[in-house]
């Protein structure tokens, strides 16, 4: 059984809002025990958010 689904974040050619939406989708992915995989602040600019998300996903 898969504990969590890895979320792919694609940034090429997307608008800042589309990038934010992908980051929110990834942020809401949870482990089986209900903990968030990671959290990002919506105040950050999109490239920084995506960078943070990718780094944290790679640490899993």
Predicted confidence (pLDDT) per residue in 25-38, tens digit:
666 655 555 555 55
Query: Domain for residue 32, yes or no?
Result: yes
Instruction: Please give the full DSSP string across 2-39, using - where no structure is assigned.
Output: -S-PPPP---TT--HHHHHHHHHHHHH-B-TTS-BS--
Query: Domain for residue 54, yes or no?
Result: yes
Query: Domain for residue 15, yes or no?
Result: yes
Number of domains in the chain: 1
Query: Domain for residue 1, yes or no?
Result: no
Q: Tens-digit pLDDT profile for the chain (60 aa)?
A: 344 455 555 556 667 677 677 666 666 655 555 555 554 444 555 566 666 666 655 554
Query: Domain for residue 39, yes or no?
Result: yes
Query: Domain for residue 16, yes or no?
Result: yes
Domain with 45 in it:
6-59
Query: Domain for residue 42, yes or no?
Result: yes
Query: Domain for residue 18, yes or no?
Result: yes
Residue 27 tokens read as 């942020």
């Amino acid at each position: 059984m898969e504990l969590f689904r890895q979320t792919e974040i694609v940034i090429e050619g997307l608008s800042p809002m589309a990038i934010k939406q992908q980051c929110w989708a990834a942020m809401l992915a949870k482990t089986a025990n209900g903990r968030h995989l990671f959290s990002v602040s919506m105040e950050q600019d999109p490239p920084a958010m995506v960078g943070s998300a990718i780094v944290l996903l790679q640490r899993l």
